[in-house]
Amino acid sequence: MRTALRTALAAALVAGVAATPVLAAGSAFAAGTNQAPKAAAAAPAAAQDTPVRTVQLGGGLSAAVYARGDQHPYYTADVISDGTVLGELKAGAGYPPEDTQVFAGYAVTLTSEGEVTAVAQDGTLVRTVQVAEGLSAKVYARGDQHRYYTATVVKDGTALGELKAGAGYPPEDTQVFAGYSVTLTSEGEVTSFAANGTLVRTVQLAGGLSAKVYARGDQHRYFTADVVEGGTVLGELKAGAGYPPEDTQVFAGYAVTLTSEGEVTATAAPGAGAQGASASGGTGASAGKDKLGPCTVSTTVSIGAGTAAELFMTRQGPVAEFSTAGEDRVFAMVDRTHPSLPKSVGITARIVDPKTATPSLYTKVEGGTAKGSTHAFPKLPKGCTFEVPIENGTKGATGAKGATGATGAGAGLTTNTGQTSVIPQGGVAAGAEFAAEGDSTALVAAGAGAASLAAAGLGFVVLRRRAGADRA
């Protein structure tokens, strides 16, 4: 009896061990604990009414692409122009692998991958490019298998000519129309630039000023601008290529700036009145009349490399002071008696025709690729006369007799009646001063033992104490 019982228990134990995992698993499943991980759920299909992408096509067309189907996916594309659906393309699954239809002159293709492309049909106007004011180019796609483009250049509604590029034509076609060199490429792109000497725009500025902007150069492009007041050209600006990226000068109380892109702006110069009349503190010719006295005028120009030159016209002739742009510290100067800077200063600068009534300043920054530039000195104000001899047959006042003359007690100094101009000549010790007409400005040599004004140029400091009125 015990043996039979033990046998039955052993059998039940073995059976129970074998069944336990199954029961445990079943109990766990029933209880909702320790479940086997579920397989990842299939990604939901794209919303049927939501486009998967919108493609911008040529000619103002676009295509809204939709994913369709579940087990057998395919795509559709609505071709749209100005918000209006022109038609539908279908590709993939039970449809062809590609669907192509023509809309507004473009052959639009949808593939089974949902990609959309468009090609302009023969004779389709693909774009209109504005070349300049009143001048445009209308670009047409030509050919079917062998694509090329034409461009009709139009001025004020009149066709001036046609360009052709691509396929059996050259890869680029360039012609000149109304002063502009226009180029059409084999991709249908149009570029243009104004030919050398072309008036590209006239800009109306403040204070009754205007600027006529001209394109210059061929391979190396730059611009010039004539600043005009009442039909009279007051001066010229130059920027770009071998010139500074910006040129700023003051005309009639306004600081006029020309950029290397040919843009012109004007702002009231410091101290200028609302109507362009300059008050004390301006830097232009009109401003100089108030700031320096009625017979001394000045204008400031940029000569490149962060350097400015202030050009003075006085009764004793022209004077140019060089300083770092935006600062009032002068490191070199030239005048009627000493018209050129030495090479040691690092700038080529000389006054052209220094003993005439119409001198100009030529400058070139050393070590760079920039071209030299020339700036005219302002003219002596009306009613003022020179106190020094003027060449070309014009003589100015030479000063009253009896005043301290050129052979005064100070060796190496030249003194003019009514105005003292102390001009270093030859070897000058540190401490020599230059006082301009109607101005108590003093140029002081900072280093002892300076051999000459130019050699000690980097140590000079201008103490700007402009006189309130001119003695003339």
The yes-or-no verdict on residue 221 having pLDDT over 90 is no
pTM summary value:
0.39
- pLDDT confidence of 132, banded at 50, 70, 90? confident
DSSP string, 52-100: SEEEE-GGGEEEEEEEE-SSS-EEEEEEEETTEEEEEEEESTTS-SEEE
Name the token pair of 406.
Answer: 């050129």
CB 386 within 8 A of CB 357: yes
Round the average pLDDT of the chain to a whole number and report it. Answer: 72
Predicted confidence at residue 92, as pLDDT, reads: 93
- pLDDT confidence of 292, banded at 50, 70, 90? low
Predicted confidence at residue 368, as pLDDT, reads: 54
For residues 344 and 360, the model is more confident at: 360
Cα 294 vs. chain centroid, distance in angstroms?
Answer: 38
**Class of residue 426 by CB neighbours under 10 A (exposed 0-12, middle 13-18, buried 19+):** exposed
- Tokens 């104004």 label which residue? 194
The yes-or-no verdict on residue 437 having pLDDT over 50 is no
- pLDDT confidence of 367, banded at 50, 70, 90? low
Rounded distance, CA 282 to CA 250, Å? 9
pLDDT above 90 covers a percentage of the chain that reads 30
The yes-or-no verdict on residue 350 having pLDDT over 80 is yes
CB 418 within 8 A of CB 400: yes
- pLDDT confidence of 370, banded at 50, 70, 90? low
- pLDDT confidence of 42, banded at 50, 70, 90? very low
Rounded distance, CA 414 to CA 408, Å? 8
Q: Which of 87-101, 150-164, 409-423, 451-465 has the lowest mean pLDDT?
A: 409-423
Predicted confidence at residue 387, as pLDDT, reads: 83
For residues 39 and 111, the model is more confident at: 111
Residue 69 has phi, psi (to 5 degrees) of 80, 165
Q: In a 3-state reduction of DSSP, which class is residue 25?
A: helix
